């Protein structure tokens, strides 16, 4: 399965207050889903990618600092899969879960992880978009801390995004409002059916299996969006949407499907080198 073609569709069954294919398949999103409310996830951003000829693609991201947005590498790579798109092609919407109410800034620099290669399964699917100062007021917009603790098999995470809301990846079902879905971490043996190199959720990826929460998964248009874990005092950034799907076809949310998330804490050196922030500023463990 091509990486970008497996964007995550989210169906939401509970509230949260806190993929790879050619790049031209980015423009799709979450299935069913739970609306997070106006400021339900103030660290979440919507990324619109101007490909020219009136083609606008969609990804999600997270605020790391007032000048840095974390997203998936496959959201910033060009059609050939070898180069990086221009910063001016990225418009970041923030400050509200409803797209029409968001403030926007344009990218000024793009940093793709040097180890990223567009292929079926990738361990380095993350990038950082630098932006002009975002006003972090703590309510409508704030940075999210990166979780560095252990993530166990069966543990619940919350994935979110503005992706497609229908299981067949209908491009007309993109959400205008941020949605979230509860997903559960899978076991090594089951996850290796989709990624033979997968070892555990404490490596460079986190695997979620739909069989634990059928109908709740990621889909097209959710790529790069936050995957968070609940901890003392709030939610922390555990991963970002990378790829997913099922073994038979590309429908989202089916019981035999899966999602692979980039584990953010395994890339702290790259993040620190780009943002200039130290680990104590970027991270949270419990």
- Assign domain 146-265 to a CATH class: mainly beta
Segment 43-92, tens digit of pLDDT: 999 999 999 899 889 999 999 999 999 999 999 998 777 789 999 999 99
What backbone torsions phi and psi does residue 282 show, to the nearest 5 degrees? Answer: -85, -25
Are 2 and 21 within 8 A, CB to CB?
Answer: yes
Segment 231-240, tens digit of pLDDT: 988 999 999 9
Tokens of 62: 């997270």
CA–CA dist 105, 183 (Å, integer): 31
The domain made up of 42-143+268-276 is a member of CATH 2.40.10.10:
yes
> What percentage of the chain exceeds 90 in pLDDT?
58
Q: Higher-confidence residue: 33 or 134?
A: 134
What backbone torsions phi and psi does residue 85 show, to the nearest 5 degrees? Answer: -65, 160
Domains 42-143+268-276 and 146-265 share a fold: yes
Are 184 and 154 within 8 A, CB to CB?
Answer: yes
Write down the pLDDT at residue 166: 56
Are 16 and 41 within 8 A, CB to CB?
Answer: yes
Q: Does residue 3 surpass a pLDDT of 50?
A: no
Burial class (CB in 10 A: 0-12, 13-18, 19+), 280: exposed
Quote the pTM value: 0.86
CA–CA dist 214, 145 (Å, integer): 29
Write down the pLDDT at residue 211: 79
DSSP-based three-state secondary structure for 176: coil
Q: Kindly list the domain boundaries of the chain, sorted by start residue.
A: 42-143+268-276, 146-265
Segment 182-224, tens digit of pLDDT: 999 999 999 998 889 899 999 999 999 887 776 666 677 789 9
Q: Nearest CA to 32 among 15, 45, 13, 46? A: 13
Query: Could you tell me where the DSSP H helices lie in the chain?
Result: 188-191, 268-275, 279-282
The H or E element that residue 241 is part of is strand 234-246
Write down the pLDDT at residue 33: 54
Are 196 and 205 within 8 A, CB to CB?
Answer: no
The lowest-confidence range among 10-24, 183-197, 236-250 is 10-24
Are 176 and 99 within 8 A, CB to CB?
Answer: yes
């Amino acid at each position: 399965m091509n990486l970008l073609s497996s964007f995550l569709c989210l169906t939401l069954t509970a509230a949260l207050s806190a993929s790879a294919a050619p790049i031209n398949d980015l423009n799709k999103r979450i299935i069913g889903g739970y609306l997070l409310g106006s400021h339900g996830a103030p660290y979440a951003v919507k990324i619109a990618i101007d490909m020219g000829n009136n083609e606008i693609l969609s990804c999600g991201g997270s605020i790391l600092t007032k000048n840095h947005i974390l997203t998936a590498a496959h959201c910033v790579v060009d059609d050939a899969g070898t180069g990086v798109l221009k910063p001016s092609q990225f418009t970041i919407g923030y400050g509200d879960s409803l797209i029409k109410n968001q403030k926007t800034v344009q990218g000024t620099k793009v940093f793709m992880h040097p180890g990223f290669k567009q292929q079926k399964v990738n361990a380095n699917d993350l990038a950082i978009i630098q932006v002009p100062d975002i006003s972090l007021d703590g309510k409508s917009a704030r940075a999210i801390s990166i979780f560095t603790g252990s993530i166990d098999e069966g543990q619940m995470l919350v994935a979110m995004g503005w992706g497609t809301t229908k299981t067949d990846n209908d491009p007309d079902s993109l959400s205008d409002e941020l949605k979230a879905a509860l997903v559960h971490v899978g076991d090594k043996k089951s996850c290796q059916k989709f990624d033979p190199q997968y070892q555990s959720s404490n490596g460079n990826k986190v695997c979620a299996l739909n069989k634990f929460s059928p109908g709740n998964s990621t889909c097209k248009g959710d790529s790069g969006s936050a995957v968070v874990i609940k901890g003392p005092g709030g939610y922390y950034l555990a991963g970002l949407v990378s790829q997913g799907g099922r073994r038979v076809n590309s429908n989202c949310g089916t019981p035999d499907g899966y999602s692979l998330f980039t584990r953010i804490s395994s890339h702290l050196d790259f993040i620190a080198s780009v943002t200039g922030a130290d680990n104590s500023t970027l991270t949270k463990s419990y």
